[in-house]
Structure 1
Amino acid sequence: WREGLWLIRDDVATTEELDDAIRYGFGLRWAQMGLFETYRVAGGEAGMRHFISQFGPTLSWPWTKLTDVPELNEELIEKIVTQSDAQSGMHSIRELERIRDDNLVAIMQGLKLHDWGAGALLKEYEERLYEKAHSGIVASDPDFSEPLRLHDSQVRPDWLDYNGHMTESRYLQVFGDTTDAFLNFIGMDENYRKQGFSVYTVETHIRHVCEVAGGEPLSVKSQLLGFDEKRFRIVHEMFHPPSGDVLATAEHMLLHVNTNKGKACPFGKILYEKLAEIWNEHQNLDIPDYAGKGFQELNKK
């Protein structure tokens, strides 16, 4: 900050040039590694001791004027304001806030892929949310004589489209979360996945029945439509709890896989036995009239 004021005062650099030096340079490294880990990499194979020891003699050098604070007079203030307006004046503060937040999210999502820095914290946080979202909804002794209520949610503001209703992709997200809840319920937890097994969705059919506005509560009930040694078929009904109105339905076919080999394989014992327990009752339920149906034919006359 003090060095930057001097550089602007003495016409060495503008506000934009100083910002570029950070966001195109060390700012990128600091965002993922901070100060000392960046130094460690800079030390190369010789290590941190080699890098830091190089600075020993410089610490006794005389300070330059850059460590002092220039007089923050009206002339310097006006120069900073004018340069800042030229740099960013085309954006409102709200636009800059949105740009900042979108970029921060993008950086954290990128770091999450590598389980690093702020991305590692984001990954851990999302895993906690996942476990919390899929625990405690089902009763300790669930009634399998009716569809299972496995997932509750609420339409968030960022789920809305330009019509003010929940956008299409969020329907799939809610149904996907419900499928995850079902998988967790039958025994496919983190420990199961760590053994190299999971379940993949191979087919999906969604029906949008009614629109739903922001802030509205959502609940989903799930009915098992059949299973064999490697697959199961399930249907979800999303409804509005206060009214009971059906908002959407989703039918899925899922396949059990060995994730290490990338091949389909039979369910593990815990999953197969739980599916059989549910199917023992769900096979007696009425199959929804829309299940198994595709799109209606449209014949141009």
Structure 2
Amino acid sequence: MARKASIIGGGVIGGGWAARFLLNGWDVAVFDPDPEAPRKVGEVLANARAALPALSDGPMPAEGRLSFAATITEAVEGADYVQESVSERLDLKHRVLAQIQQVAPQTPVGSSTSGFKPSELQQGAANPATIFVAHPFNPVYLLPLAEVVPSPANDPTLIEAAKQTLREIGMFPLHIRKEIDAHIADRFLEAVWREALWLVKDGIATTEEIDEAIRMGFGLRWGQMGLFETYRIAGGEAGMKHFMAQFGPCLQWPWTRLTDVPEFNDALVDLIAGQSDAQSGHHSIRELERIRDSNLIGFLRALKDRNWGAGRVLNEHDARRRAAMPDPSPDHAAPMEMARMQVLPGWIDYNGHMTESRYLFACSETTDAFLRHIGAGLDYVAGGHSYYSAETHILHKGEAKLGDRLTGSVQVLAADEKRLHVFVTIARDGVAVATLEQMLLHVDMKAGRACPAAPAVLARLMPIAQAHAALPRPEGAGRHVGQRRA
């Protein structure tokens, strides 16, 4: 049975939370008195459906059920987790949190607040122990960071459970050990924002020039190494001590105006807004969101390929999903479903169909899963032995398109001590879109030649091969290129 998340507040942040939970298989109930909330949440969800699957190397779980509640009580009833995302007014948050706890006093309640401390949110609460800060970053459905801030009144066990919930939906819960106004990340953003306002007000730079300075320079470094690791490298071989000795005195120089704030008046607002309109006004907000999402996917995929920074979080989330998949049926008297996949944006060619290389990738994923099943996975490879693909024949039978969910199944055609002959079927909704016939050789990697597989591997492989020997030979097995179809 799907778990339920309750989202109170359906704006940009609340809609992002709803999408993050929903696309990770949770049922989601949203409450927002704004009659436009279903439309606004729906637009955020549409962007998320197009973007989030591109970060996974496996299929997304079945989408949960989305509902819009008429009251907070209706939204919260039966919820396993509640996320409050209403406007940044403490009196409003207190009223909303009180209504939540009238129905669910024991349910974890995370607040998306970017500024209030948890102890402020807990004032007058029926059960302060369950209320904490879970501050995300926009777009919530793509960026993994959630600042989790408890107070001394919180139940540590509940906080740990809430952090695990966030991990299960692909987020990175950063536990802030001491509560402070604006937490950690927004304090940096506020500092940069103040300095930027002065640079514009004083006529030093335009909004576009400031954005270029960030996105063409240190923004790229910060995105994958943060602040201190970046400066450690800047210190050269001598490291951080050298950097601090070299640049520390600069902190006393009158470079910054962070301790002073420009007067926030209509003239400053008009100046900033006018430059921003000139910079980006030719794009709608929805267009800018899609451009942002596409760029973030590219950055995050690159980090994922290197298992670095936010990419490591994505890889760990994929691994949790794979571990949760059921083992193939112990009934070996049928082709064995070994892999489940989803056609991602990067898998598509100029015709809008899955490109040839991805059919081979899907086959590899399926065969690798079968090898793991018989005990010839990465641990076996680390010991110096592996199955190598000696020959592959692919037959395209249908078209796979963006978002299609695929399954990969294996039928063993023959096997002996050194050889494994398999027939892989890649199917959509039970109908084959491609079949691939493979011959694999078991190899001693150090010696560089074929050798018998380990007895433990053969003990798992041969009963499957014997059971599959009784199956009808699959259509297309033994084909050669250009052979006419029957």
TM-score, length-scaled by structure 2: 0.51
Aligned counterpart in structure 2 of residue 192 of structure 1, from 375, 380, 383: 380
1:84 corresponds in structure 2 to 276
Structure 1 CA distance for aligned equivalents of residues 409 and 332 of structure 2: 12
Report the Cα distance in structure 2 between the residues aligned to 1:132 and 1:295, rounded to whole angstroms.
39
Task: Kindly provide the CA deviation profile for residues 174-228 of structure 1, in whole angstroms up to 9, marking residues without a partner as x.
Answer: 4333222211111123322322433343433333434567776654442111234
**Letter matched to residue 67 of structure 1:** T
Contact 2:423 2:436 in 1 (8 A): yes
Partner of 1:249: 435
The Cα shift of 1:33 comes to 1.6
| Structure 2 residue 225 is the aligned partner of structure 1 residue 15 | no
Give the superposition deviation at 1:293: 0.6
Note if 1:75 corresponds to 2:267: yes
| Aligned counterparts of 2:401 and 2:302: Cα–Cα separation in 1 | 31
Matching residue within 331, 335, 359 for 1:147: 335
| CA apart distance, 1:8 | 0.8
1:43 to 235, 240, 253: 235
Change (3 A) 1:50 1:215: closer
**Which residue is equivalent to 1:204?**
392
**Residues 252-277 of structure 1, C-alpha deviations (whole Å, 9 max, x = no match):** 22333455676655433332332222
Q: State the 1:230 CA deviation.
A: 3.4
The one-letter code of the counterpart of 1:273 is A
Q: Please tell me whether residue 274 in structure 1 is matched to residue 460 in structure 2.
A: yes
List aligned pairs for 1:164-203, cutoff 5 A: 171-203=359-391
Q: Contact 2:368/2:377 (CA < 8 Å) preserved in 1?
A: no
TM-score (norm 1): 0.77
Local SS of the residue matching 1:187? coil
Partners of 2:324 and 2:343 in 1: how far apart? 18
Determine the C-alpha separation between the residues in 2 that align with 1:155 and 1:98. 19
Structure 2 counterpart of 1:48, one-letter code? M
Task: Tell me the SS of whatever aligns to 1:137.
Answer: coil
Aligned residue pairs total: 292
Higher alpha-carbon deviation: 164-173 or 186-195: 164-173
CA distance, structure 1, for counterparts of residue 333 and residue 482 of structure 2? 32
Tell me how far apart the structure 2 counterparts of residues 260 and 102 of structure 1 sit (CA, whole Å).
43
Q: Report SS of the residue matched to 2:411.
A: strand
Q: Which moved more, 1:57-66 or 1:117-126?
A: 57-66
1:33 to 1:212, Cα distance in 2 relative to 1, 3 A: closer
Relative to 1, partners in 2 of residues 1:90 and 1:295: Cα closer, same or farther, differing over 3 Å?
A: farther
- 8 A contact 1:230–1:266 mirrored in 2: yes
CA contact (8 A) 1:4 1:18 kept: yes
For the pair shown, the structure with the greater C-alpha radius of gyration is: 1
- Counterpart Cα distance in 2 of 1:147 and 1:223: 5
Residues 158 and 95 of structure 1: CA distance in aligned 2, closer, same or farther (over 3 Å): farther
Matched, 1:295 2:485: no
Amino acid at match of 1:185: H
Task: Give 1:13 deviation, angstroms.
Answer: 0.7
1:253 alignment partner, SS class = strand
C-alpha change, 1:38 and 1:158, in structure 2 (3 Å) is closer
| Distance 1:93-1:257 versus aligned 2 partners, 3 A rule | farther
- Matched residue SS, 2:473: coil
Kept in 2: contact 1:137–1:149 (CA 8 A): no
* Cα distance between partner residues in 1 of 2:475 and 2:242: 73
Equivalent-residue separation in structure 1 for 2:245 and 2:400 (angstroms): 63
Paired amino acid for 1:76: L
Distance 1:195 1:158 in 2: 33
Determine the C-alpha separation between the residues in 1 that align with 2:353 and 2:254.
64
CA distance 1:45–1:239, shift in 2 (3 Å): closer
**Which structure exhibits the higher relative contact order, with contacts defined as CA atoms closer than 8 Å and separated by 6 or more residues?**
1
Of the three residues 84, 87, 102, the one matched with 2:294 is 102
Distance 1:35 1:80, change over 3 A: same
Q: Structure 1, unaligned stretches of length 5 or more? A: none
- In the other structure, the counterpart of 1:30 is 222
Distance 1:256 1:132, change over 3 A: farther
Does residue 5 in structure 1 map to residue 204 in structure 2? no
Distance of 2:296 and 2:217 partners within structure 1: 17
Q: CA RMSD in A?
A: 3.6
* Compared CA separation, residues 285 and 37, structure 1 to 2 (3 A): same
1:92 partner amino acid: S
**Residue equivalent to 1:115:** 307
Aligned to 1:226: 414
Question: What residue in structure 2 maps to residue 126 of structure 1?
Answer: 318
> Counterpart of 2:328?
138
2:4 maps to: none
The answer as to whether partners of 1:210 and 1:246 remain within 8 angstroms in 2 is yes
Identity %: 52
C-alpha distance in 1 between matches for 2:400 and 2:302: 32
